[in-house]
């Protein structure tokens, strides 16, 4: 029997995964829901940490994620959080690099929090440092970047408690942001609106193949050690919020 292959992570996602993996492992969930799983690179890893369900609205990304995650025992449905089976809740609900693509982020969080089991956790990642909003953000359909205070307020307003913030990506993430902004400066956005640009954003600059994965993993490894020295600084932000038991 062929062992299913875990797809490679892009460098920025590899930095993120190092934080997310530790957060989710500490939460020790039985059930995991990922919203906006893209092509399934993170989900392929989360599927080994609990009973995993994902939702992805983009047609092409859904097909790729389904092909990658199903052999690993996870499930992927085509759509957004409204397609999640009614009445179900999950120990951990994740959304990585999704919230910044949504015009009504407060409304999105209000829709996501009820999917978290009481006492469970919502785990998010977003680009941070609003003053770094640049050409790449425009290209891929971002409405905003966040700072810890603004994201904490959003999560608290949605009913979250015990909110934690972890920055990641120092210092390599700053270089990666600069490279992506330069690349974006020479590209034409695929769509007139942020929603149209968001649709294909998860397919841009995504690596494929075992060789690419091995190379990226080796190149990023030293930077992962460095970013852990500065959990309060970096152009990426991972947030954890608990849904109250009551």
Residue 136 sits in a domain whose CATH number is 3.40.50.150
The label of the residue with tokens 């038991």 reads 245
Convert the pLDDT of each residue in 108-154 to its tens digit. 999 999 999 999 999 999 999 999 999 999 999 999 999 999 999 99
Domain containing 164 equals 11-242
Domain-embedded: residue 99: yes
Stated as kind and residue range, the H or E segment containing 236 is strand 236-242
* Count of C-beta atoms within a 10 Å radius of residue 92: 25
What is the reported pLDDT for 208?
Answer: 74
Q: Give dist(CA 71, CA 208) in Å, integer.
A: 17
DSSP helix, strand, coil percent of the chain (3-state; round to 5): 45, 20, 35
Domain-embedded: residue 142: yes
Looking at the 3D structure of the chain, how many domains does it have? 1
Domain-embedded: residue 5: no
Q: Give dist(CA 49, CA 57) in Å, integer.
A: 23
pLDDT band per the 50, 70, 90 thresholds, residue 200:
low
The label of the residue with tokens 């992805």 reads 56
Query: Which DSSP letter does residue 223 get?
Result: H
Domain-embedded: residue 120: yes
Domain-embedded: residue 67: yes
The label of the residue with tokens 């932000």 reads 237
Convert the pLDDT of each residue in 2-47 to its tens digit. 667 899 999 999 999 999 999 999 999 999 999 999 999 999 999 9
Burial profile 229-243: b = 16 or more Cβ within 10 angstroms, e = fewer? eeeebbbbbbbbbbb
Peptide linkage before 171 cis (omega within 30 of 0) = yes
Domain-embedded: residue 221: yes
Both tokens assigned to 132: 């770094």
What is the reported pLDDT for 209?
Answer: 75
């Amino acid at each position: 029997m062929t062992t299913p292959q875990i797809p490679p992570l892009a460098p920025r996602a590899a930095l993120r995964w190092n934080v997310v993996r530790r957060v989710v492992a500490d939460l020790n969930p039985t059930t995991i829901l990922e919203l906006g799983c893209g092509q399934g690179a993170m989900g392929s890893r989360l599927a080994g940490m609990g009973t995993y369900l994902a939702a992805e609205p983009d047609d092409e990304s859904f097909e790729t994620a389904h092909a990658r995650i199903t052999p690993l025992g996870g499930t992927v449905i085509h759509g957004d959080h409204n397609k999640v089976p009614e009445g179900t809740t999950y120990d951990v609900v994740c959304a990585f690099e999704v919230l910044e693509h949504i015009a009504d982020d407060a409304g999105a969080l209000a829709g996501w929090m009820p999917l978290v089991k009481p006492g469970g956790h919502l785990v998010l990642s977003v680009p941070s440092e609003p003053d770094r909003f640049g050409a790449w953000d425009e290209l891929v359909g971002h409405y905003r970047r966040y700072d810890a205070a603004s994201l904490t307020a959003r999560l608290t307003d949605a009913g979250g408690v015990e909110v934690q913030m972890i920055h990641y990506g120092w210092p390599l993430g700053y270089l990666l942001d600069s490279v992506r902004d330069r690349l974006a400066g020479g590209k034409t956005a695929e769509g007139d609106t942020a929603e149209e640009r968001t649709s294909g954003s998860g397919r841009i600059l995504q690596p494929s193949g075992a060789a690419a994965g091995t190379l990226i993993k080796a190149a990023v490894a030293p930077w992962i050690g460095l970013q852990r020295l500065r959990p309060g600084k970096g152009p990426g932000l991972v947030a954890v919020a608990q849904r109250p038991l009551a």
